[in-house]
Amino acid sequence: MSSKEDKTLQAIKFDREHVKLDILDQLVIPYSTTYIPINTIEDAFQAIKLMQVRGAPAIAIVGAFAVVVDTHTYLQSGESSKTIKDLKDSLDYLITSRPTAVNLANALNDMKVLISLAAEDSKPVDKTTLKLLYDYAVALYDDDLANNFKLGENGLQYIISSLKEENFEGPFSIITVCNTGSLATSGHGTALGIIRSTYQNLNEENTKEDFWLDHVYPCETRPYNQGARLTTYELDYEQIPFTLICDNMVSSLINTLNREKAVKDSSAPVKFIIVGADRIVKNGDTANKIGTFQLATIANYFNNKNENQKIRFIIAAPKTTIDLNTPTGEGIVIEERPANELTTLVGPQLAQDGVGEKVTVGIATPGINVWNPAFDVTPHELIDSIVTEDPHVFTKDASGEYQLSK
């Protein structure tokens, strides 16, 4: 098990001087802090596919840095056989590592455009190509980090104005799913970034309002358990009060808290469900981790039942996650993952004296049919707002439609 000192929230380490890339292996968090080197585009493909790095912004950044490292190593080797066309083909290959999150495709397609503007397909990859790629990747990382802090602040302001509008007073809770924090981005996070910013500014000790964030409920996020493994790790690291729940406990949790019954030691009602996004299309339909759609449906049920206990369903994402080329959620390709992610559990053996070997245990009848979509699409009508790095929070117009822009 990692000691407190070993723990880190830095998913991506890029050495700008020596052009080296290491990623935190998210398959062994929270039990071990291990960085693995990414030396080639193929290394990045495998790490993204295996989900050693995951989260829409993080995979885009790792993909972009990997292209830089690969190109840098190639130029250092003194070879001269690679053309711009070869490089563009390898970027197309890398895009296929995970199809749903648009950030990876956006970043690598941008890189393709940049190098195409500078040189024809038949020209060799050279130092100018590398400089263009390097500058793009570094800016992608820096912008993501800066935008996450803006997004967190915008989400906080939206939370404050929503609660004021309702004349809400006292403690409240937030539900989230998957991992959308530092580990899924360059830092701070999106949905978890809003939770971070909200807790920093609106906890019981320091709030200047009549309300405060009392508790966070991360969903376990079956089958890959990003909520249980990664979001709890981040919340624990930040000392934000939280209680882990299974994905199928959400209705019961909200109902229990609405009846002012305590769950463990908090009875603060759920006022917000805040989630990230892998792709937000033109009409606001949003692909995110499987289970997101049912969270929105549950919020809708409670909102229809009792207008005084409104739960707002918020999508939090940087504008790099917006895809204006796809008109509706129908057009989103949903990644299907292998059956063994449902039929087995993988993790280290835990013993009193520490963490042991990784083991795989079976939890379903062998050889059965399994459906394992990694994401679902929440229809825009169930989404109350889309928070980005822009101070203007997107909400629906009078006819119930989103007018999104980049």
Residues with catalytic function: 278
Cα–Cα distance, 147 to 187 (Å, whole number):
10
| Structure token digits, residue 217 | 């409920």
Minimum distance between the CB of residue 26 and ligand MRU, rounded to whole angstroms?
Answer: 8
**Nearest residue to 162 (alpha-carbon basis) of 148, 177, 172:** 172
Contact between 56 and ligand MRU (CB under 6 A)? yes
CB atoms within 10 A of CB 129: 22
| Structure token digits, residue 404 | 């999104």
Gyration radius of the chain's alpha carbons = 22
* C-alpha distances in Å from residue 108, one per residue of 19, 123, 363, 399: 18, 19, 38, 36
**How many residues in the shown chain lie near ligand MRU by CB under 6 A?**
17
Which of 106, 180, 182, 225 lies at the binding interface for ligand MRU (CB under 6 A)? 180
Amino acid occupying residue 100? T
CB 12 within 8 A of CB 23: yes
Minimum distance between the CB of residue 7 and ligand MRU, rounded to whole angstroms?
Answer: 19
CB 381 within 8 A of CB 142: no
Cα–Cα distance, 265 to 263 (Å, whole number):
6
Choice between 148 and 267, CB closer to ligand MRU: 148
Choice between 7 and 222, CB closer to ligand MRU: 222
Residue nearest to ligand MRU (CB): 276
Torsion sign across C-alpha atoms 239, 241, 245, 247: negative
Listed ranges 10-18, 176-184, 254-262, 386-394: which one lies at the site for ligand MRU (CB under 6 A) = 176-184
Minimum distance between the CB of residue 335 and ligand MRU, rounded to whole angstroms?
Answer: 8
- Residue 212: φ, ψ to 5°: -155, 155
Tell me the DSSP string of 197-225.
HHHHHSSTTT-SSSEEEEEEEEB--TTTT
Amino acid occupying residue 29? I
Chain centre to alpha carbon of residue 116: 30
Choice between 155 and 269, CB closer to ligand MRU: 155
Which of 173, 182, 226, 232 lies at the binding interface for ligand MRU (CB under 6 A)? 226
Which of 52, 54, 144, 242 lies at the binding interface for ligand MRU (CB under 6 A)? 54
Cα–Cα distance, 97 to 105 (Å, whole number):
10
State the Cα torsion 88-90-95-97 to the nearest 10°: 180
Listed ranges 151-159, 167-175, 182-190, 256-264: which one lies at the site for ligand MRU (CB under 6 A) = 182-190
Helix (H) or strand (E) holding 355: strand 354-362
Site for ligand MRU in 258-317 (CB under 6 A): 276-278, 288-289
Binding marks (x or -) toward ligand MRU, 73..102, rule CB under 6 A?
A: ----------------------------x-
Choice between 55 and 63, CB closer to ligand MRU: 55
Minimum distance between the CB of residue 206 and ligand MRU, rounded to whole angstroms?
Answer: 26
Which of 68, 374, 377, 386 lies at the binding interface for ligand MRU (CB under 6 A)? 374
Contact between 44 and ligand MRU (CB under 6 A)? no
CB 99 within 8 A of CB 333: yes
Listed ranges 55-63, 117-125, 241-249, 300-308: which one lies at the site for ligand MRU (CB under 6 A) = 55-63
Minimum distance between the CB of residue 365 and ligand MRU, rounded to whole angstroms?
Answer: 25
Choice between 192 and 253, CB closer to ligand MRU: 192
Which of 30, 55, 227, 291 lies at the binding interface for ligand MRU (CB under 6 A)? 55
Contact between 140 and ligand MRU (CB under 6 A)? no
CB atoms within 10 A of CB 293: 19
Choice between 49 and 82, CB closer to ligand MRU: 49
Site for ligand MRU in 4-43 (CB under 6 A): none
Choice between 289 and 380, CB closer to ligand MRU: 289
Minimum distance between the CB of residue 185 and ligand MRU, rounded to whole angstroms?
Answer: 5
Cα–Cα distance, 205 to 201 (Å, whole number):
9
E-strand spans in 17-156? Answer: 20-24, 35-37
Using CB under 6 A as the criterion, which residues of the chain lie in contact with ligand MRU when the complex forms?
A: 54-57, 101, 178, 180, 184-185, 190, 226, 276-278, 288-289, 374
